[in-house]
């Protein structure tokens, strides 16, 4: 995708991947139960991977908020739908040294700088000339050593940002085609030392041999940043497929306020996991309403070109359907 103009040892040389085949993945954050939209995306990621002969992997992205027991419940729900995965579970909190290594390589190449900005300061600052809308305005990009020392003396620990050399980057998406999106000086490491999402996901996908990323289209705008960062680290960006979200009847992203949105909720209404799978399959135009399905049958019918491109607006009845 992109080659760094600076000499930098490819990360793949430091963390070799022994996988012989490509892979897809599903990578939830264990902050709560998976809702029907999450389950639908997991099903799609499984179908994309299995239909192309790829391995299907699971990763727990637990660098942010974690709810006790959420990981176990998420995995149990996926298994109840029949989804399976290859190899051991990858857990981000076990991989901090790998993120540190990636940051060190970028630092050594002169591709980082410290940032002392608060969210409020960033929001109030005028945009940098010619910067894409919403980009970090570069407040700390060119601080002098004296200015950095003065800011450190204030006691606020700095975040570490990428010194990006482009304003946008283009990726190819299986559903959206060619897509150009903003690349700004994204955060690599937060002020508290936690690796940022955009860094961790790039490092982890490469380590797992993931060459196909299927996820919600709310993350489409982050793909150019991640593909650009992958190029700087000497890694190959994956093939992307950003799929439509699930929305409630008000057009909002699906959340608990919409009603019985989790597999547990649906089971409490009397639906079986197989009936929930049928609901998801119908929303993807893979089955007729109330048709009995299994994963093998869905895999036989799966054609990405026929998938709906509009969001799935969910109407949640309060009574279970009759068994066909």
302 is an annotated ligand-binding site residue: no
Give the contacts of 80 (CB within 8 A, at least 6 positions apart).
263, 273
221 is an annotated ligand-binding site residue: no
197 is an annotated ligand-binding site residue: yes
117 is an annotated ligand-binding site residue: yes
241 is an annotated ligand-binding site residue: no
Question: What three-state secondary structure class fits 216?
Answer: strand
**Contacts by 85-90 with C-beta closer than 8 Å and gap 24+?**
85/26, 85/56, 85/57, 85/58, 86/23, 86/55, 86/56, 86/57, 87/55, 87/57, 87/208, 89/58, 89/59, 89/60, 90/57, 90/58, 90/59, 90/60, 90/204, 90/207, 90/208
Q: Nearest 5°: phi and psi at 114?
A: -80, 145
40 is an annotated ligand-binding site residue: no
224 is an annotated ligand-binding site residue: no
Number of helices (H), then strands (E), in the chain: 11, 12
12 is an annotated ligand-binding site residue: no
Of the residues 65, 152, 256, 285, only one is catalytic, namely: 256
240 is an annotated ligand-binding site residue: no
Active site annotation includes 267: no
4 is an annotated ligand-binding site residue: no
Binding residues for L-glutamate: 25-29, 61, 197, 215
Q: Which residues are annotated as a binding site for Zn(2+)?
A: 115, 117, 136, 140
Give catalytic residue positions. 256
Q: Binding site for ATP: which residues? A: 256
What residues form the annotated binding site?
25-29, 61, 115, 117, 136, 140, 197, 215, 256
């Amino acid at each position: 995708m992109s080659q760094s103009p600076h000499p930098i040892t490819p990360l793949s040389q430091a963390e070799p991947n022994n996988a012989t085949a490509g892979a897809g993945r599903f990578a939830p954050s264990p902050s709560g139960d998976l809702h029907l939209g999450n389950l639908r995306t997991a099903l799609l990621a499984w179908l994309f991977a299995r239909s192309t002969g790829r391995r299907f992997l699971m990763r727990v992205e637990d660098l942010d908020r974690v709810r006790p027991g959420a990981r176990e419940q998420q995995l149990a729900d996926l298994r109840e739908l029949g989804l399976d995965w290859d190899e051991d579970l990858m857990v981000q909190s076990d991989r901090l040294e790998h993120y540190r290594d990636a940051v060190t390589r970028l630092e050594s190449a002169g591709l980082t700088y410290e940032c002392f900005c608060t969210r409020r300061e960033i929001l109030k600052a005028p945009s940098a000339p010619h910067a894409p809308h919403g980009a970090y305005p570069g407040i700390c990009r060119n601080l002098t050593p004296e200015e950095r020392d003065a800011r450190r003396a204030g006691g606020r620990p700095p975040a570490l940002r990428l010194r990006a050399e482009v304003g946008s980057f283009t990726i190819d998406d299986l559903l959206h085609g060619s897509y150009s999106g903003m690349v700004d000086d994204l955060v690599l490491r937060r002020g508290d030392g936690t690796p940022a999402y955009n860094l961790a996901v790039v490092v982890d996908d490469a380590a797992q041999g993931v060459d196909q990323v299927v996820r919600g289209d709310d993350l489409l705008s982050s793909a150019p940043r991640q593909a650009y960062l992958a190029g700087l680290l000497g890694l190959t960006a994956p093939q992307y497929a950003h799929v439509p979200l699930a929305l409630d009847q008000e057009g909002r992203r699906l959340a608990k306020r919409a009603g019985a949105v989790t597999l547990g909720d649906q089971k409490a209404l009397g639906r079986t996991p197989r009936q929930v799978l049928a609901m998801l399959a119908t929303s993807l135009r893979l089955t007729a309403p109330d048709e009995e399905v299994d994963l093998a049958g869905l895999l036989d019918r799966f054609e990405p070109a026929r998938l709906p491109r509009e969001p799935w607006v969910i109407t949640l009845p309060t009574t279970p359907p009759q068994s066909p």
